[in-house]
Amino acid sequence: MKVEVAGLAELEAAAKKILQKAKEEKIFLFYGSMGAGKTTLINKLCELLGTKDHTSSPTFSIVNEYELENGSIYHFDFYRLKNQNEAFDMGYEDYLYSGNYCFVEWPEKIADLLPEHYVKVEIKVLSEVDREIELSIK
């Protein structure tokens, strides 16, 4: 599934389509260049899922947790990882296999550790404000 997003005004509709297409899948891997809008899209997804928590990039903490009525959302940013061992050290498996939503930015940093099933979200920059979001379920 491909969705073109012309600015932030269309982001909520795109996020709703992503959640509908994902159905029961709760692990989302976000691919895209720096500044493509991964965190912005994740913030919208968190809002639609019902978190009341303030959402932001976990660039320095590596993982943020947001509460839901019936569970949690774990938001990862692996950009700063030096190697996959750092993901082991933080206990990434406990998060990814918890049954909660997991939104992972820079999953290519832990390519050998990814689960079998996930939603792949690729964001391509078309212009300063326009994006193409391609979704596939693995």
Query: Domains along the chain?
Result: 24-119 (3.40.50.300)
| CA gap 5, 86 in Å, rounded | 34
Q: What is the pLDDT of residue 48?
A: 96
Q: What is the pLDDT of residue 57?
A: 82
Task: Tell me, rounded to whole angstroms, the distance of Cα 19 from its chain centroid.
Answer: 12
Q: Is the pTM of the predicted complex or chain greater than 0.85?
A: yes
Looking at residue 26, the DSSP 8-state letter turns out to be -
| CA gap 31, 47 in Å, rounded | 20
Low-confidence ranges of the chain (pLDDT < 50): none
